[in-house]
């Protein structure tokens, strides 16, 4: 059973940076797609950034130029570098991976103060 565990969330001032990490258990896990989603308070979960095994990336318009998704296949980790954070980036961030079935992490809170 593959598990995804996020880390790196926290409280940061507007304009600051955070780096989220997602570690996957299972040495043979090789997802076709990895992504980060977020769920702001009182809102629905939304996709933030996606990365396929072929290297195709897609970022939400709201984070373009500020967030970068990356993957280290050797370490089975996925990261999200978040720069120039804004209060509207406040949300619970979830790691997502797809290999035959979808997998989700438990979420990590990111709070950006103004």
For residue 78, how far is the Cα from the chain centroid? 7
Q: What is the 8-class DSSP label of residue 84?
A: S
pLDDT interval class at 27 (50, 70, 90): low
How many Cβ atoms from other residues are within 10 Å of residue 56's Cβ? Answer: 9
Tokens 């318009």 sit at which residue? 61
Q: What is the pLDDT of residues 61-73, one digit of tens each?
A: 999 999 999 999 8
Task: Report whether 67 contacts 82 (CB < 8 A).
Answer: yes
pLDDT reading at 29 higher than 90: no
Q: What is the pLDDT of residues 91-100, one digit of tens each?
A: 999 999 999 9
Mean pLDDT for 81-102 is 97
Q: Which residues pair with 30 in a beta bridge?
A: none
The rounded distance, in Å, linking the Cα atoms of 47 and 50 is 8
pLDDT reading at 40 higher than 70: yes
């Amino acid at each position: 059973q593959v598990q995804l565990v996020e880390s790196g969330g926290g409280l940061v001032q507007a304009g600051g940076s955070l780096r989220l990490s997602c570690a996957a258990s299972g040495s043979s896990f090789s997802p076709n797609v990895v992504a980060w989603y977020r769920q702001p308070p009182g809102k629905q979960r939304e996709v933030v950034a996606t990365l396929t095994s072929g290297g195709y990336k897609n970022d939400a318009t709201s984070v373009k130029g500020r967030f970068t998704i990356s993957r280290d296949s050797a370490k089975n980790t996925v990261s999200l570098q978040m720069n120039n954070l804004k209060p509207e980036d406040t949300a619970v961030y979830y790691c997502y991976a797809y290999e035959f079935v979808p997998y989700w992490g438990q979420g990590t809170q990111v709070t950006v103060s103004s």
